[in-house]
């Protein structure tokens, strides 16, 4: 059995204890078992929660099975993109945010470059400006 005890202290408040217990039959040093196995497993579980709740992978609100089945890989792809954004933000205060926090915390600039000879170019520009786009 491995026991880890932490305490959080805030001014004017009593300390809060955070004991953690790990019971295992695996061999090795307690520190290695806790840091390299138990904590990493918890991190994986947190990523699954982000996928379910932050990217709404658990949602099955479409009326057809095929549409709901298609939602899962889209949510997984969105989560991969958000993980990459978190990696790119590793030197900023956003590095510890969950994916839903990143989604809400990052600005969403979109650059739309329409070739001069593109079909329906004028219509695309009108629609983009109607959505709030500004020319660069």
> From the first residue on, what is the mean pLDDT of each consecutive set of 10 residues in the chain (136 residues)?
74 82 74 75 75 70 78 78 79 78 72 78 81 75
| Positions of E strands within the chain | 2-8, 16-22
Are 76 and 57 in contact by the 8 Å Cβ rule? The answer is: yes
Q: Report the pLDDT value the prediction gives residue 82, as an integer from 0 to 100.
A: 78
Q: Report the pLDDT value the prediction gives residue 93, as an integer from 0 to 100.
A: 79
- Adjacent-strand bridge partners of 21: 3
**SS3 for 49?**
helix
In angstroms, what CA-CA distances link 122 with 27, 53, 115? 68, 39, 11
20 φ/ψ angles, rounded to the nearest 5 degrees: -130, 135
Are 133 and 89 in contact by the 8 Å Cβ rule? The answer is: no
Q: Report the pLDDT value the prediction gives residue 10, as an integer from 0 to 100.
A: 84
Are 101 and 93 in contact by the 8 Å Cβ rule? The answer is: no
Tokens 């990459």 sit at which residue?
Answer: 84
Are 86 and 92 in contact by the 8 Å Cβ rule? The answer is: no
Q: Report the pLDDT value the prediction gives residue 33, as an integer from 0 to 100.
A: 77
Q: Report the pLDDT value the prediction gives residue 26, as an integer from 0 to 100.
A: 74
| 3-state DSSP percent of the chain in helix, strand and coil, to 5 | 50, 10, 40
């Amino acid at each position: 059995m491995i026991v880890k005890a932490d305490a959080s202290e805030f001014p004017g408040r009593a300390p809060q204890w955070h004991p953690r217990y790990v019971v295992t039959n695996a061999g090795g040093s307690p520190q290695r078992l806790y840091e390299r196995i138990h904590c990493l497993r918890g991190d994986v579980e947190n990523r699954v929660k982000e996928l379910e709740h932050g990217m709404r992978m658990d949602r099955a609100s479409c009326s057809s099975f095929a549409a709901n089945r298609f939602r899962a890989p889209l949510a997984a792809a969105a989560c991969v993109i958000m993980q990459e954004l978190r990696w790119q933000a590793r030197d900023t205060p956003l590095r510890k945010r969950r994916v839903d926090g990143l989604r809400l915390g990052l600005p969403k600039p979109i650059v739309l470059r329409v070739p001069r000879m593109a079909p329906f170019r004028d219509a695309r520009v009108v629609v983009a400006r109607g959505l709030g786009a500004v020319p660069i």
